[in-house]
Structure 1
């Protein structure tokens, strides 16, 4: 529970350390997954339901990396979000920690998006 300056309270959430590797970082080494679990930042649970005031993908091209072994956000859900956004998709055989486990492939998607947007 976190208390805001305005007197409100909110629930913070995180992934249990003992479940972190299985849920988030299955393709990281045990040591890297343990470090990631220990240094994860909490999120206010309500933020996961809060609508965005501006949705860039309505008017801008977008790209989406789908982590096919993600156990936090299912690949099916990722595909649905990407389709809704009309995004160019790249599927990578990786966990939710795809940026850490497959940085070169993610960087190439970012570079491709940057070249296309230039």
Structure 2
């Protein structure tokens, strides 16, 4: 604590200064890359096992889970459609309360041109 002002000392960078350190954007994490590389060694074998479970398992839950994994790997996750009441569109409230704004603020908003 700063004894002169009795305020806690601020840590970190000052507002407006650029971030420093860390990985450059787009550079892969080395640990993650290593784990992915190790996991990929088993990819074909695991996919074959999933297919075997999906097609031959007596346990229906396991067969469904394995089939789902295979399909998601091959085709991507399925899209979840969202809908509002009675399968219609989702209602969206597009109203903004401007009653708390000053006349000057309202003039500024009114002068904004929207293309």
Which range, TM-score by smaller chain? under 0.3
Larger radius of gyration: 2
**TM-score, structure 1 as length reference:** 0.23
Greater fraction strand: 1
**TM-score, structure 2 as length reference:** 0.23
Relative contact order higher in (CA < 8 Å, ≥ 6 apart): 1
